Amino acid sequence: MEYHNIAPVYDRESSILILGSFPSVKSRETGFFYGHPQNRFWTLLSSILECGKPETIEEKKRMLLENKIAVWDVIAKCDIIGSGDSSIKNVEPNDILFLINESNISKIFCNGKTSFKLYKKYIEPVTHIEAQCLPSTSPANAAYSLERLKNEWKVIKE
């Protein structure tokens, strides 16, 4: 059983929530979201938000909070082999409702199909907020170029 070891990034002003499924091995090692250097999350987000790409954890947190974006994952603990979403079993979800109650979150976006499927199953019945599925920023999603991802992800600014 692997445990989620990264605290959510949010504050009272957060109005958008981006949910992944579960941190990759690299993210668990670095102690922050989207820690694998090949993951396109930070490059994509900084491009959409028209700001410099953050490098440190503090810069990443600042960029998120300045843009009223919260980030967390659907899963609190699960059985997983490596970083592969397809191997996820025995899911225990995070308490997303607490996050929503502590902020102004009104829009939820899922980073990839696994987080979306798990959100629909475990979280939406509790929050009653529909989420929108966006294509995964993972390097495993090679079908999407950065430009194609940007085209889909720009909805977070609308």
Sheet (strand 2-3) strand order: 2-3, 75-79, 89-93
pLDDT at 142: 86
Could you report the per-residue pLDDT of 86-135, keeping only the tens digit for each?
A: 889 999 999 999 999 999 999 999 999 999 999 999 999 999 999 999 99
Count of domains for the chain: 1
Q: For the chain, how big is the Rg over CA atoms in Å? A: 14
55 dihedral zone (left: phi>0; alpha: psi -120 to 50; beta): alpha
Could you report the per-residue pLDDT of 55-93, keeping only the tens digit for each?
A: 999 999 999 999 999 999 999 999 998 878 788 999 999
Q: What is residue 37's DSSP assignment?
A: T
Burial readout 137-147 (b: 16 or more C-beta within 10 A, e: otherwise): bbebbeebeee
C-alpha to C-alpha distances, 152 to 8, 128, 135, nearest whole angstrom: 24, 24, 7
Q: Report the alpha-carbon distance of residue 99 to residue 105 in Å, rounded.
A: 8
Domain that holds residue 50: 2-157
Query: Which domain CATH number covers 48?
Result: 3.40.470.10
